[in-house]
Amino acid sequence: MELRVVHYFVAIAECGSVSEAARVVKVGQPSLSRQMHLLERELHVKLFLPGPGRLRLSAAGWQFLPIARDLVSRSERALITMRALSGESPARITIAAPSTTISDVVAPFLVERVNSDTVFIAREEAPDIGYRAVLEGRADISLTIRRPPDELLQREVARFRLFAYVAKSHPWFLRRSVRLDELSGPPLIVIPDSSSFRVVVPALEQIGLGFHIAFEVSVPKIAQALAGAGHGVAILSDDPCFGLRPLDIEGPDGILSVPLFASWDATHYARDTIARFVDDLAEYCAANWAKPALLNEPGRVNS
């Protein structure tokens, strides 16, 4: 099975027609059709269903598509890596991180601090298991809230405080903090896939308290907007807006926070570049988030 033919299959599956895929991969339509027939014969399955209109994948085609995409992706990464090693092109480092971390931490850091021949790009991964992208070769660096396995080099690059956000009309507004057990009373506004949710909810469950989730949203500013409108207490680690008051959350062992771990492969060809990147990122986070208590100075409200 030739890799270029696998690439052709992915193009046809994504384009929905042989003619459109032929334009994308710059191969004649008759040749592309012939290559697909040969691939189906080699695999002993039909990859596409017969019929008019847009091509549809068969059950076997759907099973093969993620495998084919992975093969194409790995071949492209191999080519980029080898060109970087030969000095023909800049090294390209992929960072796997949660979407909020990419937008709030990685992107500003890349704009402000990174100035090198290395090209850094980011891809979204789950907050707690993003290190799998490094283990599986889909990324060069991972940023996760869960400590990576010992087989990877790692460093805690930041620790972000979690906050309970309340509106000016809320009875807690003039406070600086709230006890974890107090969060079992009011309606909570959360983002289910966020690091704050993955820390606060287990902490409440650990001390045996129930809680009432009034709203589950996917956008931090919507969570804050709902809190600002008086619909509950938003649990987030984002910067405050809409005149909300961020309250530290006091857990049994101190103020609740979420760690951010960087991890990478010790045998990576660009491990020195990655180590410098991680060190610079940790310094950047310390400079920008090392003093979260300033948000909670008495009488001060950030808008």
Q: What is the CATH number of the domain that holds 185?
A: 3.40.190.10
Beta strands in 162-232 (DSSP E): 163-166, 177-179, 187-190, 212-216
N residues, the chain: 303
How many domains, the chain? 3
pLDDT of residue 294: 34
Closest listed residue to residue 242, CA positions, set 266, 262, 255, 226: 226
User: What amino acid occupies position 292?
Assistant: P
**Taking the CB of residue 223, how many other CB atoms lie within 10 A of it?**
28
What is the DSSP secondary-structure string of 123-166? EE--TTTTTHHHHTTS-SEEEESSPPPTTSEEEEEEEEEPEEEE
pLDDT of residue 190: 84
296 occurs within a structural domain: no
**Angle at the Cα of 50 from the Cα atoms of 44 and 54, rounded to 5 degrees:** 120
Inter-residue contact 158 to 100 (CB < 8 Å): no
Is residue 98 domain-shared with residue 221, that is, in the same domain? no
Is residue 82 domain-shared with residue 13, that is, in the same domain? yes
Is residue 14 domain-shared with residue 69, that is, in the same domain? yes
Read off φ and ψ for residue 177, nearest 5 degrees.
-155, 170
pLDDT of residue 165: 93
Bridge partner residues of 141 (DSSP): 95, 264
Distance CA 74, CA 76 (A): 5
Read off φ and ψ for residue 95, nearest 5 degrees.
-110, 120
Residue 97 belongs to domain spanning: 92-159+259-289
Is residue 153 domain-shared with residue 263, that is, in the same domain? yes
Closest listed residue to residue 54, CA positions, set 23, 21, 6: 21
pLDDT along the chain (303 residues), means of 10: 85 87 86 88 88 83 88 74 58 82 85 71 76 84 88 89 90 90 87 76 77 83 90 86 90 84 86 87 83 36 31
Is residue 103 domain-shared with residue 246, that is, in the same domain? no
Distance CA 300, CA 98 (A): 30
| Run of H or E including 234 | strand 233-236
Tokens encoding 250: 């006091």
190 occurs within a structural domain: yes
pLDDT of residue 135: 85
Alpha-carbon 158 to chain mean position = 16
pLDDT of residue 72: 82
pLDDT of residue 117: 67
Place of tokens 């799998």: 132
pLDDT of residue 302: 31
277 occurs within a structural domain: yes
pLDDT of residue 172: 92
- b/e 176-205 (16+ beta carbons within 10 angstroms → b): bbbebebbeebebbbbeebbbbbbbbebbe
294 occurs within a structural domain: no
